[in-house]
Amino acid sequence: MATTQQIIERHDQYMTHNFSRYPIAIAEASGCVLTDGDGKQYLDLFAGFGAGILGHCHPDLVTAGVKQMNKVWHVGNLLHTEPQTLLAEQISTKGFGGKSFFCHSGADANEGAIKLARLYGKQHRGKSTGEFGRFKIISATQSFHGRTFATMGATGNVTVRQGFEPLPPGFVNVAFNDIAAIEAELDETAIAIIVEPIQGEGGINVPDEGYLAKLRKICDERDMLLILDEVWTGCGRTGKYFAHQHWDVKPDVMTLGKAVGCGLPVGVVCAGERVWDLFDNTKMGRVTHATTLGGNCVSMAVAARMFEVIERDELLPRATRAGEAIKARLRKFAEKHPVVKDVRGKGLFIGVELDPAAEGAWFTSGNEIVSQCLERGLLINCTHNTVLRLAPPLVITDEEMDRGLEVMEKALSGK
């Protein structure tokens, strides 16, 4: 294998530089441990933005993937294949019901959800007299729904869309967790609300208890759609299969990405009863949404197996217990170290908000903590400069977690 330096040089010459990458090249990964080309190991508490929900190269997933690779990879969606149906069944029965459409990423899934909302708004025009019926989609500030053209509009972070205007019209962003702000946008054009049950890129923001239920009520009263973006929170990350189950609120459309593919590129639009016919080519008289490689057999076989492993190994209660223990430990640390302002999240989706102005803070940004941790063999993440994020694989052991937290606490206290 090439050296790290050679890999970086080739990257610099032949790849666009979309990401600020650390000068580390990972050669192998297993469980919660990454190993670079020089043999240095990193404990992975971020799992590739949460996608490695069962850790790296989980033996059951490897077996499922390899077995499928030796059978059939891809035949196109004019034919049936069993793995798609198995994954769709898992998502429907573990979730709110619904029928799945498979694509490749979180943004891709949200594009599909937005298309469903637009179609629904043409059929359910309400008081709208305009040519396009109802089309406005309300989302939250600090939300993240993707970087494709439509999802940039739904994404609340304005820097994401800078320079790409004009964007498709019909999106407004209002404060997260603020029902009055939503209500202010409920005119005759409003057709859907899209929200993350817990904001991920925005800083692990958990909504107030009644927030999602109130959104559900608004959507029911106004014949609008509630789209829950579970790209970060889905597939056991928060200690339930899907985060909306914490609040017992059912969406009309749920989108998945990241963890559902376990590291392979999978996106899912799970459409509820009110909307699934809008993707039915027979009922609509034409194809309203499609993609070539969505639902390829290998990704599907791996993803379907992931749900079975979560169930078999009781990883949901495990994620809940581990998450509570991590939060308790970090809150105790915060009592003596005011640099930690808040510890929040559910299951193994945890945010640690820092206060760089607090007494004892040696850093100006959480990214300095991330760098220190990396030097000491620990991978965590920071968003918005001040929120450290932990999203380890659900299979992490107590010993690994303790080891990781010790490194992080040392880095936070400048030791």
Ligand X SMILES: Cc1ncc(COP(=O)(O)O)c(C=O)c1O
Binding window for ligand X (CB under 6 A); candidates: 9-17, 29-37, 89-97, 100-108: 100-108
Pattern of binders to ligand X over 202-231, x per CB under 6 A? ---------------------------x-x
Pattern of binders to ligand X over 146-175, x per CB under 6 A? x-----------------------------
For position 263 contacting ligand X by CB under 6 A, the verdict is: no
| Interface residue with ligand X, options 88, 107, 340, 391 (CB under 6 A) | 107
Scored b (16 or more CB within 10 A) or e, 299-319 reads: bbbbbbbbbebbeeeebbebb
For position 234 contacting ligand X by CB under 6 A, the verdict is: no
User: Least distance in Å: CB of 265 to ligand X?
Assistant: 8
User: Least distance in Å: CB of 300 to ligand X?
Assistant: 17
281 Cβ contact partners less than 8 Å away, ≥ 6 residues apart: 287, 288
For position 296 contacting ligand X by CB under 6 A, the verdict is: no
For position 201 contacting ligand X by CB under 6 A, the verdict is: yes
For position 249 contacting ligand X by CB under 6 A, the verdict is: no
Binding window for ligand X (CB under 6 A); candidates: 106-114, 175-183, 285-293, 371-379: 106-114
User: Least distance in Å: CB of 398 to ligand X?
Assistant: 28
Tokens 């898992």 -> residue: 90
User: Least distance in Å: CB of 155 to ligand X?
Assistant: 8
| Interface residue with ligand X, options 94, 136, 145, 318 (CB under 6 A) | 145
Q: Are 372 and 379 in contact (CB under 8 A)?
A: no
| Interface residue with ligand X, options 257, 263, 272, 392 (CB under 6 A) | 257
| Interface residue with ligand X, options 200, 239, 294, 392 (CB under 6 A) | 200
Nearer to ligand X, 90 or 148 (CB): 148
User: Least distance in Å: CB of 223 to ligand X?
Assistant: 25
Whether residue 317 is preceded by a cis peptide bond, meaning omega within 30 degrees of 0, is no
- The CA-atom distances, in angstroms, between 114 and each of 231, 289, 323, 343 are 15, 11, 33, 33
User: Least distance in Å: CB of 204 to ligand X?
Assistant: 11
| Interface residue with ligand X, options 31, 52, 65, 106 (CB under 6 A) | 106
User: Least distance in Å: CB of 233 to ligand X?
Assistant: 8
User: Least distance in Å: CB of 107 to ligand X?
Assistant: 3
For position 261 contacting ligand X by CB under 6 A, the verdict is: no
User: Least distance in Å: CB of 110 to ligand X?
Assistant: 6
- Tokens of residue 111, six digits: 């594009």
User: Least distance in Å: CB of 196 to ligand X?
Assistant: 5
For position 193 contacting ligand X by CB under 6 A, the verdict is: no
For position 44 contacting ligand X by CB under 6 A, the verdict is: no
For position 65 contacting ligand X by CB under 6 A, the verdict is: no
Count interface residues toward ligand X (CB under 6 A): 14
For position 235 contacting ligand X by CB under 6 A, the verdict is: no
Task: Catalog residues that contact ligand X under the rule CB under 6 A.
Answer: 105-107, 110, 144-146, 196, 200-201, 229, 231-232, 257
